[in-house]
Structure 1
Amino acid sequence: MSQSDKNFDYKHIWHPYSSMINPIPCYSVMSAKGVYLKLQNGRKIIDGMSSWWSAIHGYNHPILNKSLKKQIKKMSHVMFGGITHPSAISLCRKLISLTPKTLDCVFLSDSGSVAIEVAIKMLIQYWHSLGQKRISFLTIRKGYHGDTFAAMSVSDPENSIHQIYHNILSKNLFANAPISSFHKKWDSNDLVSFQKIIEENSSKIAGVILEPIVQGVGGMNFYHPKYLKKIKILCHNYNIPLIFDEIATGFGRTGKFFSFQHADVIPDILCLGKALTGGTITLAATLTTRHIANIISMSKVGCFMHGPTYMGNPLACAAANANIKILETNQWKIQVSNIEKQLYKNLTPLIDHPYVIDVRILGAIGVIECSRLVNMPLMQKFFVNNGVWIRPFKKLIYIVPPYIISTNELNKLINVITQALNDSSLFL
């Protein structure tokens, strides 16, 4: 990449969560293979983020690449309205076989945020078909569901990255986030706030939406499985559909194929994305029950009113099929288990560090909660200079490495985090 290209990028290209006046520095990646990103200067750095949870098998995986090459020789895209194709049929068949048997209707879209939009629209149209105007959703604080408007409206209105939009978003209902953590004792008081809200508003709630077990960008909190069980019971008692947002956690990240399996409960709608294609190309899916789909289809409108241009993209579906083929070997179980054991062994001792409030580990997720805000640009530069790619935010330093990462590579990530904690200049 030339200096001219770098200057152009700096002046004209708006990167995620960045400023056009004083943008966060970007690092030029020229190629990627396995767990390594190769920078312009030839340096290889270990990716500890799996490209935001998606590249679970690393980069340039031969099976994923082969699937894309094979599909592109046939067609890269074709509209999904009035047309179908083998890659989409195969993918939907696989998704139905992998998920609870009640989730047998699949709506494909092109990003996780859109999958959430689709789920929310489904339930609004579902209740409209039943002659009821229900447009409010119930969720918990510290949640994050995406950057589009309906997704923002069910993300924490005060402590999320979307606070600036709070006054123009649809008003939804927020219960207190559970305090009982995944590995500790269940406290029934966690349910009080949620139960009170659902009891007082049951006639106007269109649905409940949750990130099961793991709250992502809202704080990387891992809550107790019993909380999820109790929420499911309340939703059943009040006949309110339950949406699970598995966009970040699906496909093995928490040690279960889906994180809701830790609680042995089943949602009415399930949203998938990120790792669906193994990090090769964007794709998402919203699965729902035949009951919800039929109610929507029997309305005066007669159909579900949504249809993205790139819905069911053949390339993306082919990649997703190949990704699931890799996962079906069940190597991911061993890989994630080994990552979790190593994180417990080598990351947990950092709890005694003076800058560390908490260390949280679940599956292939490791979280350090710091007592001070990190200086993101400076810490990012420190990580790159020391051979790793980790993107901290607020007071959190976390890693979600590719499942294929080796013991030595994971140790490198942990060791560099330790070095960063020892450098006070990297904190605000």
Structure 2
Amino acid sequence: MNKSDILFDYKHIWHPYSSMINPLPCYSVISAKGVYLKLKNGKNIIDGMSSWWSTIHGYNHPILNKSLRKQIKKISHVMFGGITHPSAILLCRKLIKLTPEKLDCIFLSDSGSISIEVAIKMLIQYWESLGQNRTKILTIRNSYHGDTFGAMSVSDPDNSIHKIYNQFLPKNLFANAPCSNFHEEWNSNDIISFQKIIEKNKLNIAGVILEPIVQGIGGMKFYHPMFLKKVEELCKYYSIPLVFDEIATGFGRTGKFFAFQHANVVPDILCLGKSMTGGTITLAATLTSRNIANTISNSNIRCFMHGPTYMGNPLACSVAYANIKILEKNEWKTQVFNIEKELCKSLLPLINHPRVLDVRILGAIGVVECKQQVNLELIQKFFVNNGVWIRPFKKLIYIVPPYVISINNLKKLVNVIAKSLNENTLFI
């Protein structure tokens, strides 16, 4: 990649959450292996982000690559309307085996945001099939569920990156987020706001949607499992379907295979994505109960009105199946435990730094909340110059490394974060 390529990118290619007038600098990656990204200058940097939570086994994993090569020799894609194929069937068998018995109907799509859209459409069509016009979704503040419009409508309307679209989005219901942290004692007052809203709107609510335990872009906070238990109890009492967004947390990230397992609860609809294919190719899934699926299917329409072009993509299904086979060896449990242990040892002491407001750790997630907002361009350059890839936002410097990272490389990520806290120019 030469200078003209970089200039072309700068002038013509729009990157996530960036500007076309004065875009943030982009670093050219020419290859990747294990936990390393190789830049065009030949420098290897440690990826602390797993490519936004997805590349849990590292890059260029031989088993995942083999599954892709094997599948592409057969068929890379075929429409899923009126057609099925072995890769989709194998994957869905695995997903049903891995998830609670209640969830036995699967709708495949091509991104996490779309899996949320599918869940919302399921909820609305479910109630329409029962002869009820319910369109309100209840969630909590500081939530984030994706960048498409339905997903944006259930993300925090005031504190999220989607605030500018509020005039267009449907108005949903937002309870206060729980204040009880994961590792602290449960405060029963945390459920009051949610309980009042669900009681007041019980005949208008189509469903409840939550990020279980971990609130991502809404602040990287980890709330108490008891909140999920109380929400499940209220949903059961009022017969309102419960949706869990496990797009970021699923497949081991929090120390449990699914984050909702920390609370021993079961949703009516489950959304999966990101690491489902080990970070190789995009795929998502929305799993639901037989009751919801049959109710929708027994309506006047007699079908679910959604059908992505790349639904059930054979390449994606094949590599997702291979990814789950790797996870079934259960090495991820030890890997995530060791990451958490090291983060508690080396990252947690940063809470004493004068620039730090809080440090939070859960499974293979480490968060440093600063008192000041970071200068993204400068801190990104600082991290790259120091041999690591970390992508902060607002006041948060966080890492979600691949499970296969070595302790030494994890220590380097933490050391560079610690070093950055002493640089006044990196903060606004």
Bin for the TM-score computed over the shorter chain: over 0.9
> Which position in structure 2 is the counterpart of 1:382?
382
Q: Which residue of 2 aligns with 1:167?
A: 167
Q: Secondary structure at the match of 2:167?
A: helix
Shift of residue 168, structure 1, vs aligned partner: 1.1
Q: Deviations over 1:324-362 (max 9, x none)?
A: 010000000000000000000000000000010000000
Separation (CA, whole Å) in 2 of partners of 1:171 and 1:405? 42
Deviation at 1:166, TM superposition (A): 1.1
**Paired amino acid for 2:290:** R
**C-alpha distance in structure 1 between counterparts of 2:376 and 2:156, whole Å:** 22
Deviation of residue 24 (structure 1)?
0.5
* Superposed CA offset, 1:86-115 (max 9, x none): 000000000000000010000000000000
Identical aligned pairs, as a percentage? 77
Q: Deviations over 1:39-68 (max 9, x none)?
A: 000000000000000000000000000000
Shift of residue 170, structure 1, vs aligned partner: 0.6
- The question of 1:302 aligning with 2:302 is answered yes
1:16 matches 2:16: yes
Give structure 1 stretches of 5+ with no counterpart. none
Residue matched to 1:44 = 44
Q: Show the counterpart of 1:131.
A: 131
TM-score (norm 2): 1.00
Q: Could you tell me how far 1:2 is from its partner in structure 2?
A: 1.1
Superposition TM-score, scaled by structure 1 size: 1.00
Runs of 5+ in structure 2 lacking a partner?
A: none
Aligned partner of residue 151 in structure 2, secondary structure: helix
1:89 aligns with 2:89: yes
**Partner-residue secondary structure (3-state), 2:305:** coil
Distance of 1:218 and 1:345 partners within structure 2: 26
Q: What's the counterpart of residue 176 of structure 1? A: 176
* Cα distance in 2 between the residues matched to 1:179 and 1:223: 7
Question: SS of 1:303's equivalent?
Answer: coil
| 1:124-179 Cα distance to aligned partner (Å, 9 max, x none) | 00000000100000000000000000000000000000010112101000000000
Match of 1:4 in 2: 4
Where do residues 14-413 of structure 1 align in structure 2 (5 Å cutoff)? 14-413=14-413
Amino acid at match of 1:360: R
Q: Distance in 1 between matches of 2:11 and 2:334?
A: 45
- The 1-side partners of 2:3 and 2:368 are apart by 36
1:380 CA displacement: 0.3
TM-superposition CA deviations, 1:355-385 (whole Å, max 9, x none):
1000000000000000000000100000000
Q: Secondary structure at the match of 2:166?
A: helix
Q: CA shift at 1:85, angstroms?
A: 0.2
2-structure distance, mates of 1:289, 1:86: 23
Q: Report the count of equivalent residues.
A: 428
Secondary structure (helix, strand or coil) at the match of 1:168 reads: coil
